[in-house]
A and B are shown apart, each in its own frame.
Chain A
Amino acid sequence: MAFIILLLATLSAPAAPLRAVIDREVAQGWKTGKVEPAQLANDATFLRRSYLDLTGTVPTYAEARVFLDDAAKGKRAKLVDRLLTDKRHARHQMQIWDLIIFTRNPANPAFTRKRDAFKNWLEKQFAKNVPWDALVRKMILAEEAGSAMFHVQYRNRPEDETVAVSRIFLGTQLGCARCHDHPFEALTQRDFYGMAGFFVRLQVLQETKGKEKVYTIGEKSSGEVLFTGPAADAVPGKKGEPVAPKFLSGAALDEPDLPKEFKEPDYRKIKKAPYPKPFFSRKEKLAAWITAPENPYFARAAVNRVWAQFMGRGLVHPVDDLKPDSEPSHPALLDALAKEFVAHKFDLSWLMREIVLSESYQRDSAGPGTAAAPKWYERARVRPLSAEEFMAALRVATGFNVAQGLDAKMPNAAGSYMLKIFGKPTDGRGNFQGGVHEHMFLNNGSQLRSLISAKKGNLADTLLKSEAPWDERVDRLFLSTLTRIPSSAEREKLVAYITAKKDDKRVTRARLEESIWALLNSSRFRFNY
């Protein structure tokens, strides 16, 4: 009891920044798990890690140099502040959430495969650091231009949307309850269909404006989900009974009766926006309930996801398995994160800043143990670069089409190949598997070669034209690709390798390009570690 009071006292003390709470709780975990923490990561490791986590790419040579040469104290905090407002950050956050919401194989692909309008809308939200509750509210209300795509994905599939909304925004698995009462959990099939009632009346209107498809979400005033009992007992022709909408918390929706004279418009006949307003909007009630500060799932689900994004695994793991009886690895920490996130009005930038500036985030990844994401966070996690990160990192490292910035395309259709080959690098439990296909692409494809081979202004060209001693050029080579200065053995080896036939320019060029290839293929480049 005394411990709990003490804990509450510390948590409510306004003076301790969240990062101090993080470090205290994580250190407590080391004792529970009987593990030794790794040392803090050096500047170069921190630089690469925070760039990849916050902007989805690696720093340029110039950016790396400036940071590493900066002798000022507090430069890490300064860097993080800068990266959080970098436009690459908004792009990266957009890609992460777009992938969570749509996956690599979105449902309703005919409508959702092309969704630039949604991506632009989402990126704008992150660029403006729209609070998380407001962002999710907007996504569910789907009233802003471009924001409709979430519902479009689940057009006419209220059950699938129930699973998705609960999993993504509330961190809760309802998939099982769709077909049967879960044997070990409190949620029943009726809870499931109660939630589905919020989506069953949604309508999707598709209009073509120029080359673009524009979507509008409408909501009918009538229509109920039908519940037929356990899927195993289903028989053809058996009609279900209507289920009234009910929040996951158990509270039924307080809904006025439809006036007797009300006549539902024929939605099939409406070909142009806007849709008529419903007599009563369930969607609005749901959006308000989901994003309310007192919703027991919403803030926890969000902080658990953001935490996992940076720390490699959720305090509840997997991230979408929150339930009343789930046991977080660090319960007090999850409580504190959720509470402070609400207190800071769902400010994502603030939350990420606190996590990234904690010592817990800044541990080295070296050390014994083979886990990719150690449960007690004693080492930094190791994760593969996503397809998007990998492409961006290749462009930055090799200096490909630098002038085109964020929207630079990859050469020789590499983009579509890479999404296919690097898009799903894990098994069903999230473990990385280095598939042979990604190496066939890197070893044999022309795409990587054309990024590497010397062209005006790119990495190979710059190094070949430089007059600096090869020692220095190899340092630049390492900084450009791996964001670190080579060890003396590495420097020596690479200098000797590249200058094996000093006077033959073609050999030097070929060997430099082979060196770049080896660096871009190495573990240090493939992973965020």
Chain B
Amino acid sequence: MKPLCKPHEHFNRRAFLKGSLLTGAGVSVANFGSLFHAQAAVNEAQKKGKRCILLWMNGGASQLDTFDMKPGRPTAGPFRPIGTNVNGLQICEYLPKMAKVADKLAVIRSMRTGSPDHPDGIYHMHTGFKQSERTPHAEIGAVIAKYCGNLDADLPSFVRMGPTGNAGPGYLGPNFAPFSLQRDGRMPTFSTSNLKPEVRERRAELFRFLETEFARQHQAEPFESHRLAKERAWRLLRAREAFDVSEEWPAHKDRYGDSNFGRGCFTALKLIERGVPFVEIGHDNYDSHANNFVCHKANLQQLDPAWSTLLLDLEDRGLLEDTLVVWMGEVGRTPNINNRAGRDHYIRAWSIVLSGSGIKGGQVYGASDEDGRDVAENPVNEGDLFATIYTALGINPRKKHFWGKRPVWLTPEEAKPIAPFLS
């Protein structure tokens, strides 16, 4: 398989930084500080880059009340199905805008997964592996940051907002750790500075002076990694306005819906435009053990405008063909409705939706039985899902890494991408 974002196409950070570090403070400042220069190079390197947005339904959305409805069956709830712009595909009445973009959606109705609860399910659905394994697997965001991102970019490669993953970069290391915005879009702890810019500049200049002396004699890799990370933190501070959408937001909030999730989706669009390869937006809270239908009605009304507008805006900008948008949570919900009008966790048959990045839209893969109790055809597990996602992004799903002595692959050996999605 041919990766679409090859490392050698990435801007060579060593070539860029080496000279400047050794030529003394003045030149370094000019080079390091040159946001435009760095940004232009990154844009060039990432032109062909694949990207991914993960819409994370925290708690686990109900497949029976969204994309796999069972009208007339005892497991159906009160929601009615509506038709979509794809012949024969029906979805929930509270997703009317999604119904109009259904031709972009590839729906999996046969997820059968292995971790039934929240922390373990969240881990499993972010890594493709069981949490109990004790190998620190890498989250999907870290993997995509590594293979589609660029360490020389001003912006981090793995951005997330709200309730999201719990595994972190795992064996890939701190370079691929998530940059986690608060759920209302505010910046993470320690990402802003209240020092005057001239103080920061002076400190930076002293730092570079000390490092330049030291680097003459000490060439070991960790030192360089330390200096590059320091410069990256400074560049990030200068580029932080990318995360602030407050000026543009009023013009878009009616389209996306005036919610944290809607604003998160709009922020994701802006970041994807700037070349960030992975953004995850968490949407609370789907864990409807009680009052499932009240919960879902409210949630879907936020989800529907945000998700559909995101897809349309990505398409308008020509980004959808390289941006995979994934809709999923950690579990599905029980076909049986419990005595609190709730649905509990369910992993024997549930749904996930993909679109963009070459995924063929307007189709359904797999099916659940007539009451949604089990998979009727083409079961898909976590490994298959991640193999599909990575393949769509040009990442070899069998790429090998190491945890100490132990080899670790991105997906298990038996994982198979969903072929009809990728053709």
Q: Which residues of A contact B (CB under 8 A)?
A: 105, 107, 160, 173, 175-176, 318, 320-321, 365-372, 382-384, 417, 424-441, 443-445, 487, 489-490, 493, 497, 510-511, 514-515, 517-519, 521-524, 526-527, 529
Kindly report which residue of chain B lies nearest to residue A435, judged by CB atoms.
B174
How far, in whole Å, are A436 and B157 apart by their CA atoms in the complex? 11
How far, in whole Å, are A383 and B199 apart by their CA atoms in the complex? 30
Q: What chain A residues lie within 8 Å of B215 (beta carbons)?
A: 523
Q: Pick the contact of B218 from A318, A365, A384, A444 — CB < 8 Å?
A: A365
Q: Pick the contact of A372 from B170, B213, B220, B402 — CB < 8 Å?
A: B220
Kindly report which residue of chain A lies nearest to residue B180, judged by CB atoms.
A437
**A-B pair number, CB within 8 angstroms:** 168
Q: What chain A residues lie within 8 Å of B190 (beta carbons)?
A: 437, 440-441, 443-445
Q: What chain A residues lie within 8 Å of B221 (beta carbons)?
A: 370-372, 431-432
Q: Which residues of B contact A (CB under 8 A)?
A: 134, 136, 156, 170-175, 177, 179, 188-195, 199-200, 202-203, 206-207, 209-211, 213-215, 217-230, 232-234, 236-237, 401-406, 408
Given contacts A372-B220, A522-B211, contact A318 B405 (CB under 8 A): yes
Q: Are the C-beta atoms of A365 and B220 separated by less than 8 Å?
A: yes
Q: Are the C-beta atoms of A522 and B207 separated by less than 8 Å?
A: yes
Q: Pick the contact of B213 from A425, A439, A490, A526 — CB < 8 Å?
A: A490
Q: Are the C-beta atoms of A382 and B220 separated by less than 8 Å?
A: yes
How far, in whole Å, are A370 and B221 apart by their CA atoms in the complex? 5
Q: Pick the contact of B174 from A175, A425, A510 — CB < 8 Å?
A: A425
List 30 contacting pairs A-B, 8 Å CB cutoff, sorted by A: A175-B406, A320-B404, A321-B405, A367-B219, A368-B219, A370-B220, A372-B221, A382-B222, A424-B173, A424-B174, A427-B175, A428-B171, A432-B221, A432-B222, A432-B225, A433-B174, A433-B225, A433-B229, A434-B228, A435-B229, A440-B190, A441-B190, A444-B190, A444-B191, A514-B199, A518-B209, A522-B214, A524-B214, A527-B223, A529-B218
Kindly report which residue of chain B lies nearest to residue A374, judged by CB atoms.
B220
Most buried by B among A105, A321, A510, A514: A514
How far, in whole Å, are A321 and B403 apart by their CA atoms in the complex? 13
Q: Are the C-beta atoms of B174 and A434 separated by less than 8 Å?
A: yes
Q: Are the C-beta atoms of A443 and B209 separated by less than 8 Å?
A: no
Kindly report which residue of chain B lies nearest to residue A511, judged by CB atoms.
B202
Q: What chain A residues lie within 8 Å of B202 (beta carbons)?
A: 511, 514
How far, in whole Å, are A382 and B215 apart by their CA atoms in the complex? 13
Q: What chain B residues lie within 8 Å of A518 (beta carbons)?
A: 203, 206-207, 209-210
Report the minimal beta-carbon distance from B180 to chain A, rounded to whole angstroms. Answer: 10
Given contacts A371-B220, A518-B210, A522-B210, contact A428 B192 (CB under 8 A): no
A-B contact sample (6 more), CB < 8 A, given A437-B174, A440-B236, A445-B190? A365-B220, A382-B220, A382-B222, A428-B172, A434-B174, A439-B232
Report the minimal beta-carbon distance from A481 to chain B, rounded to whole angstroms. Answer: 11
Q: Are the C-beta atoms of B226 and A523 separated by less than 8 Å?
A: yes
Q: What chain A residues lie within 8 Å of B403 (beta carbons)?
A: 428
Q: What chain B residues lie within 8 Å of A487 (beta carbons)?
A: 213
How far, in whole Å, are A487 and B193 apart by their CA atoms in the complex? 32
Kindly report which residue of chain B lies nearest to residue A523, judged by CB atoms.
B223
Q: Are the C-beta atoms of A436 and B219 separated by less than 8 Å?
A: no
Q: Are the C-beta atoms of B219 and A523 separated by less than 8 Å?
A: no
Q: What chain B residues lie within 8 Å of A365 (beta carbons)?
A: 218, 220
Most buried by B among A370, A425, A437: A437
Kindly report which residue of chain A lies nearest to residue B214, judged by CB atoms.
A523
| Interface SS of chain A | mixed
Q: Are the C-beta atoms of B408 and A438 separated by less than 8 Å?
A: no
Given contacts A434-B226, A444-B191, A514-B199, contact A439 B233 (CB under 8 A): yes
How far, in whole Å, are A153 and B349 apart by their CA atoms in the complex? 34
Q: What chain A residues lie within 8 Å of B229 (beta carbons)?
A: 433-436, 438-439
Q: Are the C-beta atoms of B222 and A527 separated by less than 8 Å?
A: yes
Q: What chain A residues lie within 8 Å of B192 (beta carbons)?
A: 444
How far, in whole Å, are A438 and B210 apart by their CA atoms in the complex? 19
Q: What chain A residues lie within 8 Å of B402 (beta carbons)?
A: 428-429
Q: Are the C-beta atoms of B173 and A433 separated by less than 8 Å?
A: yes
Kindly report which residue of chain A lies nearest to residue B401, judged by CB atoms.
A428
How far, in whole Å, are A443 and B221 apart by their CA atoms in the complex? 22
How far, in whole Å, are A371 and B220 apart by their CA atoms in the complex? 6
Report the minimal beta-carbon distance from B285 to chain A, rounded to whole angstroms. Answer: 24
Report the minimal beta-carbon distance from A329 to chain B, rounded to whole angstroms. Answer: 16
Most buried by A among B136, B211, B230: B230
Q: Are the C-beta atoms of B203 and A523 separated by less than 8 Å?
A: no
Q: What chain B residues lie within 8 Å of A489 (beta carbons)?
A: 213
Kindly report which residue of chain B lies nearest to residue A526, judged by CB atoms.
B226
* For the complex of A and B, 6 pairs with smallest distance between CB atoms: A435-B174, A428-B171, A434-B229, A427-B173, A439-B233, A518-B206
How far, in whole Å, are A384 and B221 apart by their CA atoms in the complex? 11
Q: What chain B residues lie within 8 Å of A429 (beta carbons)?
A: 402, 404
Q: Pick the contact of A529 from B172, B220, B230, B234 — CB < 8 Å?
A: B220
Given contacts A430-B404, A436-B236, A443-B193, contact A384 B206 (CB under 8 A): no
Q: What chain B residues lie within 8 Å of A173 (beta carbons)?
A: 405-406
Q: Are the C-beta atoms of A428 and B193 separated by less than 8 Å?
A: no
Q: What chain B residues lie within 8 Å of A439 (beta carbons)?
A: 229-230, 232-234
Report the minimal beta-carbon distance from B126 to chain A, rounded to whole angstroms. Answer: 15
Q: What chain B residues lie within 8 Å of A366 (beta carbons)?
A: 217-218
How far, in whole Å, are A344 and B290 apart by their CA atoms in the complex? 66
Report the minimal beta-carbon distance from A427 to chain B, rounded to whole angstroms. Answer: 3
Q: Are the C-beta atoms of A443 and B233 separated by less than 8 Å?
A: yes
Q: Are the C-beta atoms of A369 and B199 separated by less than 8 Å?
A: no
Report the minimal beta-carbon distance from B177 to chain A, rounded to whole angstroms. Answer: 5
Given contacts A444-B193, A522-B214, A523-B223, contact A318 B206 (CB under 8 A): no
Q: Are the C-beta atoms of B225 and A436 separated by less than 8 Å?
A: no
Q: What chain A residues lie within 8 Å of B134 (beta carbons)?
A: 107, 160
Kindly report which residue of chain B lies nearest to residue A441, judged by CB atoms.
B190
Q: Pick the contact of A523 from B170, B199, B218 — CB < 8 Å?
A: B218
Q: Are the C-beta atoms of B406 and A527 separated by less than 8 Å?
A: no
Kindly report which residue of chain A lies nearest to residue B414, judged by CB atoms.
A232
Kindly report which residue of chain A lies nearest to residue B221, judged by CB atoms.
A370
Q: Are the C-beta atoms of B174 and A521 separated by less than 8 Å?
A: no
Q: Are the C-beta atoms of A444 and B173 separated by less than 8 Å?
A: no
Most buried by B among A428, A438, A526: A428
Q: Are the C-beta atoms of A444 and B220 separated by less than 8 Å?
A: no
Given contacts A445-B190, A515-B206, A518-B210, contact A372 B219 (CB under 8 A): no
Q: Are the C-beta atoms of B210 and A519 separated by less than 8 Å?
A: yes
Q: Are the C-beta atoms of B173 and A426 separated by less than 8 Å?
A: yes
How far, in whole Å, are A428 and B134 apart by their CA atoms in the complex? 13
Kindly report which residue of chain A lies nearest to residue B170, judged by CB atoms.
A428
Q: What chain B residues lie within 8 Å of A372 (beta carbons)?
A: 220-222
How far, in whole Å, are A529 and B222 apart by their CA atoms in the complex? 10
Q: What chain A residues lie within 8 Å of B172 (beta carbons)?
A: 427-428
Given contacts A434-B226, A435-B229, A436-B236, contact A369 B219 (CB under 8 A): yes
Most buried by B among A383, A417, A424, A497: A424
Report the minimal beta-carbon distance from B193 to chain A, rounded to whole angstroms. Answer: 4
Report the minimal beta-carbon distance from A294 to chain B, rounded to whole angstroms. Answer: 26
Report the minimal beta-carbon distance from B157 to chain A, rounded to whole angstroms. Answer: 10
Kindly report which residue of chain B lies nearest to residue A317, judged by CB atoms.
B405
Q: What chain B residues lie within 8 Å of A441 (beta carbons)?
A: 190
Most buried by A among B179, B218, B401, B408: B218
How far, in whole Å, are A345 and B77 apart by their CA atoms in the complex? 72
Report the minimal beta-carbon distance from B138 to chain A, rounded to whole angstroms. Answer: 9
Q: What chain B residues lie within 8 Å of A445 (beta carbons)?
A: 189-190
How far, in whole Å, are A526 and B206 apart by their CA atoms in the complex? 16
Q: What chain A residues lie within 8 Å of B214 (beta carbons)?
A: 522-524
Q: Pick the contact of B206 from A160, A371, A382, A514 — CB < 8 Å?
A: A514
Q: Are the C-beta atoms of B136 and A105 separated by less than 8 Å?
A: yes
Report the minimal beta-carbon distance from A423 to chain B, rounded to whole angstroms. Answer: 10
Q: Are the C-beta atoms of A370 and B173 separated by less than 8 Å?
A: no
Q: Pick the contact of A318 from B136, B233, B404 — CB < 8 Å?
A: B404
How far, in whole Å, are A526 and B218 apart by their CA atoms in the complex? 14
Q: Pick the contact of B209 from A437, A493, A523 — CB < 8 Å?
A: A493
Q: What chain A residues lie within 8 Å of B191 (beta carbons)?
A: 440, 444
